[in-house]
Structure 1
Amino acid sequence: MPGTRPLVKIGSVTAQVLPGWTHAYSGKVRDLYVPEGTTDADAPELLVVASDRVSAFDFVLAPGIPGKGELLTTLSNWWFSQLADVPNHLVPGGGARIPSEVAGRAMLVKPLEMFPIECVVRGFITGSGWAEYQESQSVTGIPLPAGLRNGDRLPAPIFTPAWKAPQGEHDENITFDRMVELVGEPAAVALRELSLKIYTDAAAKAETQGLIVADTKFEFGSDTDGVITLADEVLTPDSSRYWDLATWNAGATPDERMASFDKQIVRDWLAANWDRQGTPPELPPVIVAQTAARYAELIERLAA
């Protein structure tokens, strides 16, 4: 049971104690460990553990979503297997060496030099992209056709990068030209092309299961040989918007056709009950239960 696991509190995050591993860092959702006797600068391998924490609007919320960490890990591993032609950060055969205390919600990965970019791909207009479109008829400098409605499919997927801010700061949507300034043109072009390819392949796969991937974000790093490598999570409900294809095709209202299998339930409740000042309110039990149920339904439908 979770309550019996030894814990260590570092900053505002409580991470689990794992024999043979040292807690090195915690993000909004994941905890990073290195082998005892090493640091994150020289560790030959890293252990990434997905917690049940949930974040929205760049804040970690309470309480968490039960079972979320295992679901995120299961879905990421499934997508890594579906995208076998894309280099990823998993250590081959590493699953057998994951500590039993975190089995099912951890990945053994190789260290990478991460790009400070969230590689966002949008196949549909919604979210912050919709807000920007209403103001400028464009998203991160990319012009779009007039007359689009919230939730409409775009003529073609677009790459709209964001600068990945340090924890506690807000990520910032940026233009491709700004991305070039940050990582250089060769890397920027390669990341854009790879992101669009992965999204296109994954969206087609999801549609065969009756699901739409409206948008998603990828994170990449460079390995010791300079190979651009897919890292972190991939196409999970934390990093992607999933919609029901049949409902979307039915031409319902935007709210109905964009009913999601991700944490949009959390975002919507928070937007309606918090002015983004101070500490976010605690999520009510009904929102936690609804979100957990939608996450579980997604993996049942997608990976069936």
Structure 2
Amino acid sequence: MRAVVRSRYGGPEVLAFAEVDAPSPEADEVLIRVEAVAVSMGDVLVLHGEPRVGRLAFGLGLPKHPVIGRDVAGIVEAVGPGATRFRVGDAVIAEADQGGFAELVAVPERFVARRPTSVDAVHAAAMVVSGTTALQAMRLAGVGPRQHVLVNGASGGVGGFAVQLAKAMGAEVTGVCRGSKAQHVLALGADHVVDYESDDFTASAGRYDVILDLVADHPLGRTRRALRRGGTLVLSSGRGGRVLGPIGRIAAASVASPFVPQRLRTLAARRSGDDLAELARRVDAGEVRAVVDAVFPLDRAAEAVARLESGEVRGKVVIAV
């Protein structure tokens, strides 16, 4: 099968188009013929092998997984003998462990859901990791009607879904982004936009019930001051040092949480077919939508990754297979 592979850590330049052996589904897996795969910041981090502590799982010297990619939409090609929820020909979405930048990928069926009927494969792939991460963040924060929610990083993949989900849950939403992306964030449903280049959301003390911090561009104490008493700060950012990444910020939040008048929570997003199914229902109900910034063919996957790394993206970058 055709796939995009890498033999070492690095940027888009390490990706190469190649023919590789097709996977076979294990007992509890479904084999998916990939129609589209979205590019996430998680893929970028895995590609670079950062933070370095992550190489304990992904390979110390060289990457264990030559093919990256997690956000998959496609058609079930085959099912393992223990897989019972899907049949050959079903249109599905799935979060793979790795391997999505290819024509075929095998995924445990518990991380697979039926595709929304109202969107094509490209837009379905764009909702997988970003959408479920945002959904889990809203759930962790307990977002509900009449709350004021701030999303720091509202123009990105996760942030865009968080804005929409918070609105669907009845909240008033403020999105933080670059000024050039303000109209994009407003179009997603935000009530207010803060241009981080000219304004500082932490200057408004005690204003927000929930802050979802996807950027980590302010000290923890300053970010927390923007919360009302009893409010919730959800930290979900891959930023930090090249060695430990966000571990220091997560540790600081865990230590401080019992001693401050707000809840400090860290989100470790997990794969969940049930969450994918809920997200698909919300897409079909018109509550949320995936915004696709650009689409590239599989043999131009390196360009797709470079586009995401540019910082100019509004929504998601997707590879059509």
TM-score (norm 2): 0.26
Higher relative contact order (CA 8 A, sep 6+): 2
Scaled by the length of structure 1, the TM-score of the pair is 0.27
